[in-house]
Amino acid sequence: TTPVVHEKYEWSNIWWDCADDASLPRVLLIGDSISCGYSAVVTRLLEGRYHVDRLGTSRSLNDPVLAKETLVMLEDSKYAAIHFNNGLHGFHITGPQYAEALKSWLALIKAHCGDAKLIWCASTPVTKNGDPATLAGENEIVTTRNALAAGIMQPANIPTDDLYSLVVGRPEIKSGDGYHYTGDGYEVLGKAVAEAVLKVVE
């Protein structure tokens, strides 16, 4: 078993949109702080058609808390689509360990998602702090994980929303801290996510 290594601060951001309104189907976004950033854009773009819930979390794939958080969402609500990602936390996990943990998490989601359409989301690039035009050394981990995930999702017939290719080489929409995005960047990301969701549900 891969040991769990906690970050200094672990967090989760769980949100149910219009929680008491059952008149519209629901979409679930699972990811990290990047997904928290684009969720408001997705909510706006899907307004009137879908309610958009979210699970944003810092937990790495091999952390049992991630499974518990995921079950909280899947056991509470029925979803038309689930757009999910985990790749920018837990950099201590090796590639093979990441792949095995991703397979386990995917199996958990599939076992509890009902008829939801699944969409895997490629992790976004990591750039040097203060230099958004230059990829950081850790970005090699991200590209490795995206490739490993592709090898798992393709045989399972789960489409990938390739946000990595969408924003790599676009320093003008990064915030400068290496990970996050400007308001314009989240607009770009959120539009792509909304389009990926609509492609599988409509």
Q: CB count, 10 Å around CB of 107?
A: 11
Q: Which residues pair with 28 in a beta bridge?
A: 53, 82
Q: What pLDDT digit, counting tens, does each position of 42-69 carry?
A: 999 999 999 999 999 999 999 999 999 9
For residue 120, give both structure tokens.
């895997």
Percent of the chain topping pLDDT 70: 100
Q: What pLDDT digit, counting tens, does each position of 147-202 carry?
A: 999 999 999 999 999 999 999 999 999 999 999 999 999 999 999 999 999 999 98
